Amino acid sequence: MPELPEVETVKETLKSQILNEVIDCVHVYYEPIVAYPTKQEFIEQLKGQKIKAIERRGKWLLFIFSKHVLLSHLRMEGRYYLKERKEVPTKHDHVVFSFASGKELWYRDTRKFGRMYLYEKENINEKKPFNALGLEPWDKELTPTYLKEKLKRKQIPIKTALLDQSIVVGIGNIYADEVLFLSRIHPLTKASSLTEEKLVILIKSIQVTLEKAIHLGGTTIKSYESSEGVHGRFQNELAIHGREYCDVCQERVTKISVGGRGTYYCVNCQKEK
């Protein structure tokens, strides 16, 4: 699944491609992709609107139009492609945005898990799903005090807590493993047990890991690529996820399941306490 660095990469790519494009018409070939409003309202409300900005919130893409905001979650395999109008969509292309310029933006999703919401701009942060999202990794309010409060009743492993988008947004399975390895925290450590000192390290590790991943265009795992077909290079920098041996101590990397997610860690560098 595309995580924060991948979505950031897609956002920046799309900004270079479609800013200020005006929607001529929209075709929705698989209706469930549009979670809100209805298919017909979605089509009618977008017609004639200009893309004024493209932003990101956690793992969500935000297309800012003249009157509305389109929220798009790529889920497992969603991708955007810029095409010419003469090209014919495939069975996996579920939403096509046709622009007055003659270009088209196709949303392709082989597993059909992606979702789109179209809201009026007013009070967008109070709308689903934004009203349930936590802080961005670089938010000034992301402090040890904030995390301590959020985690104090969490009897779950810290690996599971890192995946909770109501606490900190944008961290998925791959980056959670990388963050915990950099923090030298065992993935099964009870979230509520982390000291303030460890929380300081954890926050810094989240920021460093995601900044590096963004710089390298994200991680190519399975089918991720940006809208220009750019594959991320962070997979070459993974310190623990998917590795056989730890680069730090040369111990064989251990893989377990935490909350149903494959989890990699080093028994030597990330000792369970």
59: annotated active-site residue: yes
Residue with tokens 């497992």: 76
Catalytic residue (choose from 83, 103, 112, 261): 261
Reported as a pLDDT band with limits 50, 70 and 90, residue 220 is very low
Catalytic residue (choose from 3, 6, 8, 21): 3
Reported as a pLDDT band with limits 50, 70 and 90, residue 231 is very low
Q: Is it the case that residue 240 has pLDDT exceeding 90?
A: yes
Domain's final residue, options 132, 156, 189: 132
Reported as a pLDDT band with limits 50, 70 and 90, residue 125 is confident
Residue with tokens 């270009």: 103
32: annotated active-site residue: no
Helices (H) and strands (E) in the chain, counts: 6, 11
35 vs 44: CA distance, rounded Å: 15
Domain holding 27, by residue range, is: 4-132
Number of domains in the chain: 2
Tell me what the mean pLDDT of segment 59-69 comes to: 95
Same domain flag for 164 and 232: yes
Same domain flag for 194 and 254: yes
With respect to residue 101, please indicate whether it lies within any of the assigned structural domains.
Answer: yes
Same domain flag for 46 and 149: no
pLDDT at 86: 82
6: annotated active-site residue: no
**Two tokens, residue 84:** 């010419």
Domain's final residue, options 81, 100, 132: 132
- Name which of 25, 1, 5 is nearest 13 in CA terms: 5
Same domain flag for 37 and 63: yes
**Stronger pLDDT, 84 or 248, i.e. the higher one:** 248
pLDDT at 28: 98
pLDDT at 2: 79
Catalytic residue (choose from 11, 59, 79, 159): 59
Contact present, 204 and 93 (Cβ < 8 Å): no
Tell me what the mean pLDDT of segment 202-217 comes to: 92
Q: Is it the case that residue 232 has pLDDT exceeding 80?
A: no
Same domain flag for 169 and 100: no
Q: What is the CATH number of the domain that holds 256?
A: 1.10.8.50
Q: What is the pLDDT of residues 186-208, one digit of tens each?
A: 999 999 999 999 999 999 999 99
Q: Is it the case that residue 72 has pLDDT exceeding 60?
A: yes
Same domain flag for 105 and 160: no
Q: What is the CATH number of the domain that holds 88?
A: 3.20.190.10
Dihedral of the alpha carbons of 123, 17, 81, 98, in degrees to the nearest 10: 70
* H-assigned helices in 66-172: 144-151, 158-162
Name the region of 184 (left: φ>0; alpha: ψ -120 to 50; beta: rest). left
β-partners of residue 22 are 50
Catalytic residue (choose from 2, 137, 157, 187): 2
Contact present, 199 and 205 (Cβ < 8 Å): no
Domain's final residue, options 103, 132, 161: 132
Same domain flag for 61 and 155: no
85: annotated active-site residue: no
Residue 52, φ and ψ in degrees, nearest 5? -90, -25
pLDDT at 128: 81
